[in-house]
Structure 1
Amino acid sequence: MTGPAFDDGELAGRVARSCALLKAEGLDGLLISVPESIYWLTGLDHWGFFAAHVLVLNADGEMALVCRAMEGITVANQVRNARFYGHADHEELSDHVLRAMADLGLKGGRVGIEKRSLFLTPRHAERIMQGEADWSEGSGLIDDLRLVKSPVEMAYTRKAARAADLGTLAAIEAVRDGASDYEVAAEYHRAAILAESEYPGFGPFFRPTSRLGEEHTTWRGDVFRTGDAVFMETCGAYRKYQAPMGRLVYVGAAPEGVERSVELAVDGMKAICAALKPGAAAGDAYAAWREVAAGAGLADYNRHHCGYLVGIGFPPSWTGGSMVTSLFPGSERKLEVGMVFHAHSWFTNTDVVDYFISNTVMLTETGAEVLTDQTPETLIVKG
C-alpha cells in the first residue's frame, strides 16, 4: 500500500472522539506531542519525530501541527486536516506553538499538555507553559482512545502479525551450532520485510542464554553453540501497527525437564487468552497466568505483568507511547473489543528449565484471538 494509511472519514471520526473527550474533561484544547497520537489523528508517518512535534487541537476539531520547517514537504504530502507551523532550527518551538494556540482561539483557555511525553523536553514544556492559558495535565487522554482499534487498524495488525510469524520462522531456521546472532537477525529481517513489515518500534531482540536476563539487548556478534538457548523477541509492523511475539529456541539439544516448562508456558498462554474477555479486568489475565504458575509448585514466582497493550508504535518502543499499559496484578482497566496485547507466558530463572512464549493477541467479540499462530509454541530444537 502506497497511499494514505487512513481515509478522511477514519481521521474525522478520531478527531470527533477526541473533541468529545476534551469537552467531557472541561478542556478547550490539548497539546499533543506523543508521535503515535499525532499519527493517529493526522496520518503523519516519518522519522522526524526525533525532534519535538506538537499538534494543537481545539474542542471544535481544528488542528495545527508545529514542527521543524524542513518537514514541510512531508507534512504537505501526508497531512490533510491540520495547519502547518514550521520553525527554523534557530527558532523556539514554543513561540510557534503559542502562535498556533492563539490562531485556534486557545489563548487564555483551559488547555491540556502531555507532561508524560518522551518527546516534549522540559525546556519546551516550560516555555510553552509561560503562555497565557489555564494549563492542565493532559497525559494519556488520546493514548486511551487509541487502545481500541477500528476495523482498519485490526486489519493492519493482522498483516503485521503475519510478517512477525514469517520472520520468526526464518530466524528459527537460521539457528544452528556455530551460527552467529548476525545471521539469525539478518534472516529475520529479510523474511519479515519481504512479508511487508516496516521497521518495528524497537528490537527485534536476539541473544544467547548468557544474556537471557538482559531485557532489552539484542544481537552483537555472539555465536551460538550446542546447548545454548536462543532468545527471540520479534515484531512485525504494518502502517506502524505493531505485532510482537517471542520464542526460546534450543541449539542442538534441550536440557532434561524442559518438557514440563514448555507445558507450563503453553498452559499459561491459554489461561491468559481465556481471561481476556470483553468487560473483564486486565488484572484477571495476570491472575489466570499466576494460577498456572502456582499450580505447578511455583508459589513464589511473580512477574511485573503477563503482557501489555500494543498498537501504533514509533521508535524507541513498540508499546505505543511513553508508558506501558500492562496486564499487571490487580489492574482494573476494563477490556474492550479491539484491544491488542503482547501476551507473555514466561518461566525463566525459576525452579524449572527456562522456557517462554509470547504472542500478539487481539480481543474480538468472541474472545481472544492469537494472531501470531504460525510459529510453534511447543519445544523447538534446531541445529
Structure 2
Amino acid sequence: MALHFDRAEFESRIGAARKALAADGLDALLLFAQESLYYLTGFDTSGFVFFQCAVLTRDDGPITLLTRRPDLEQARRTSILSDIRLWYDQEGNDPSRELSDILAEKGLKGARVGIEMRTFGLTADKYELVAKRLAGWCELADASHIVRTLRLVKSPAEITYVRRAAELADQSLEAMLATARPGAFEGDIAAAGSVPILAGGGDPPPSGPVLGSGDRALLIRSATGFRHLDPVDQLTLEFAGSYRHYCACLMRTVAIGKGNPAQRAMFEVTREALAAMTEAARPARPLGEIDDAHRQVYDAAGYGHARMSACGYSLGALYRPTWMDVPPMLYSGNTTPAVPGMVLFLHAILIDAPKSLAMSLGHTIVLTSAGAEVLSRIAPEYTVCS
C-alpha cells in the first residue's frame, strides 16, 4: 500500500473533520473534492472527473467511497479506505441512486448532510443528480469549508513535502534560465524545467507552466502556441514544483539578449513590493494586509495602473486543473488571520500593456511563529539571458 503519511495522521485528520461536522450540526459529509479524499485517506486518482463521492459520517463508521471500476485497485492500494462501492457505466445510468442507497444504509434519512460544492469534482450536472435524488429525503447543506479549513494549516509531515517541492522548483528555474537565450524555443525551455521535477521524484504540476515571451510575456495564464525567442525579448515564467501533490510556486520575468531600462525600473519596484508583502505575512494578522503592502509600494511608485488587484493565494496538495488552493486569496480586506503552518504563494505582477512590458516576481512562503520563511534559495534579481 502506497501511503505517504502515517495511518495515525490520517486518523487524526478524520477525527478533526468529524469534530467540525458536529460543530456545524451535520450528520455526514459528501466528499467530492479529490483534495479532501487525498487529505483524509491518501486516495490518489484522476478519476474524480467522473462521478465519485465518499461519505464521511459524524460517528466512527468507516468512510464509504463510491467510484467506478477502474478506480477500485487505485483506492485499495493508495488509501486507507476499506469500504469501496462501485457504479458501472451503462446508458442512462445515474450513480446518485447508488449514493442514496449508501446514505440509507447509514441511517441518514431526514439527516442534515453536508456536501462539497466548491470543487472541480462536482460539476453542475452531477450536483443536479444528487440534489434531485435527495430532495425531501434529507437536508443538503453546502459544507465545502469543512475539510478545506483543516487543509489550510499543514502538519510537519506536509511541510516536509512542501520543502521538497520548493527544492524542485528552484532546480526547475535554474534549468529554464540556462536554456533561455535569443532564438531558443519556448517548448525546449518548458521541457528543461520539467526534467528536474520528474527526475527528482516529483509530480507533473497540476497546471502550467505559464511560459511566454514577446507579447505573451504579458499573459499570466498558460496558452498554447510556443514560439522562438527574438534576439531582444522578455520571458515570463510561472510554475510549480510538485512533490506528493504538494506545490511550491515561483515566478520570474527575465530579459532576453539585452536589458531594458524601463523594465529594470519595473523590476526594482517589484522586488520592493515582494519584500514588503513577505514582511506583512505575520501570524495573527489579516491576510489582506499582504495585499495592502503590495498596493502601497506599487501605487506610491506610480504603477497602480499596471498591478493586479490580488497578490497571491494558498498552496497545498492539488489536482488538475489548478495549483491555486483557494480560498483564501490574498486581497485587500481579507480578514482571514495568518496562522503558522499556512503555505502561501506571493506574487507581484506588473503588466504595462501600452509599452508591452511585463515584470513579475513570486515565491512560496511558509508561515512560522516568527513570520514568513521564504522557501526558495534563489534571490530575485534582474536577469538578462544571452
Counterpart residue type for residue 165 of structure 1: D
Q: C-alpha separation between the residues in 2 aligned to 1:337 and 1:33?
A: 28
Give the CA deviation at 1:301.
4.9
Give the CA deviation at 1:244.
1.2
Q: Secondary structure at the match of 1:354?
A: strand
Counterpart residue type for residue 253 of structure 1: K
Q: Secondary structure at the match of 1:325?
A: coil
Counterpart residue type for residue 351 of structure 2: T
Q: Name the counterpart of 1:336.
A: 339
Give the CA deviation at 1:108.
1.9
On the 8 A contact 1:276/1:367 being kept in 2, the answer is yes
On the 8 A contact 1:348/1:354 being kept in 2, the answer is yes
Give the CA deviation at 1:299.
4.6
Counterpart residue type for residue 66 of structure 1: L
Q: C-alpha separation between the residues in 1 aligned to 2:257 and 2:304?
A: 32
Give the CA deviation at 1:138.
1.3
Q: Which segment is superposed worse, 156-165 or 252-261?
A: 252-261
Q: Which segment is superposed worse, 352-361 or 197-206?
A: 352-361
Q: C-alpha separation between the residues in 1 aligned to 2:30 and 2:46?
A: 20
Give the alignment's TM-score, normalised by structure 2: 0.93
Gaps of 5+ in 1: none
Question: CA offsets per residue over residues 314-366 of structure 1, 9 Å max, x none?
Answer: 0001113xx55210111111111111111001122179963211111111122
Distance change (3 Å), C-alpha of 1:42 and 1:95: same
Q: C-alpha separation between the residues in 2 aligned to 1:213 and 1:35?
A: 32
Q: Name the counterpart of 1:105.
A: 107
Q: Secondary structure at the match of 2:261?
A: coil
Q: 2:295 aligns with which of 290, 296, 302?
A: 290
Question: CA offsets per residue over residues 102-126 of structure 1, 9 Å max, x none?
Answer: 2233222100112232222333222
Give the alignment's TM-score, normalised by structure 1: 0.94
On the 8 A contact 1:54/1:67 being kept in 2, the answer is yes
Distance change (3 Å), C-alpha of 1:324 and 1:304: farther
Gaps of 5+ in 2: none
In the alignment, is residue 168 of structure 1 matched against residue 173 of structure 2? yes
Q: Name the counterpart of 2:363.
A: 359
In the alignment, is residue 79 of structure 1 matched against residue 79 of structure 2? yes
Question: CA offsets per residue over residues 110-168 of structure 1, 9 Å max, x none?
Answer: 00112232222333222222222111111222112111100011010000111111011
On the 8 A contact 2:168/2:241 being kept in 1, the answer is yes
Q: How does 1:257-336 map to 2 (within 5 A)?
A: 257-320=262-325, 323-336=326-339
**Aligned-residue RMSD, C-alpha:** 1.8
On the 8 A contact 2:186/2:227 being kept in 1, the answer is yes
Counterpart residue type for residue 341 of structure 1: L
On the 8 A contact 1:204/1:218 being kept in 2, the answer is no
Q: C-alpha separation between the residues in 2 aligned to 1:42 and 1:102?
A: 23
Distance change (3 Å), C-alpha of 1:221 and 1:354: closer
Q: Name the counterpart of 2:88.
A: 88
On the 8 A contact 2:288/2:332 being kept in 1, the answer is yes
Question: CA offsets per residue over residues 28-56 of structure 1, 9 Å max, x none?
Answer: 01101011111101101122222132111
Q: Name the counterpart of 1:149.
A: 154
How many residue pairs get matched?
Answer: 379
Q: C-alpha separation between the residues in 1 aligned to 2:303 and 2:221?
A: 25
On the 8 A contact 1:31/1:57 being kept in 2, the answer is yes
Give the CA deviation at 1:95.
1.4
On the 8 A contact 1:182/1:220 being kept in 2, the answer is no
On the 8 A contact 1:166/1:195 being kept in 2, the answer is no
In the alignment, is residue 121 of structure 1 matched against residue 120 of structure 2? no
Q: C-alpha separation between the residues in 1 aligned to 2:247 and 2:109?
A: 37
Q: Name the counterpart of 1:39.
A: 38
Q: Secondary structure at the match of 2:328?
A: coil
Q: C-alpha separation between the residues in 2 aligned to 1:126 and 1:347?
A: 41
Q: Name the counterpart of 1:372.
A: 376
Q: Name the counterpart of 1:381.
A: 384
Q: Secondary structure at the match of 1:292?
A: helix
Q: Secondary structure at the match of 1:344?
A: strand
Q: Which segment is superposed worse, 255-264 or 29-38?
A: 255-264
Q: C-alpha separation between the residues in 1 aligned to 2:70 and 2:110?
A: 30
Counterpart residue type for residue 86 of structure 1: L
Q: How does 1:223-238 map to 2 (within 5 A)?
A: 223-238=228-243
Give the CA deviation at 1:19.
0.6
On the 8 A contact 1:42/1:80 being kept in 2, the answer is yes
Question: CA offsets per residue over residues 39-75 of structure 1, 9 Å max, x none?
Answer: 1011011222221321111111431111112211111
Q: C-alpha separation between the residues in 2 aligned to 1:219 and 1:165?
A: 24
Distance change (3 Å), C-alpha of 1:328 and 1:316: same
Q: Name the counterpart of 2:143.
A: 138
Q: 2:352 aligns with which of 331, 349, 353?
A: 349
Q: Which segment is superposed worse, 114-123 or 328-337?
A: 114-123
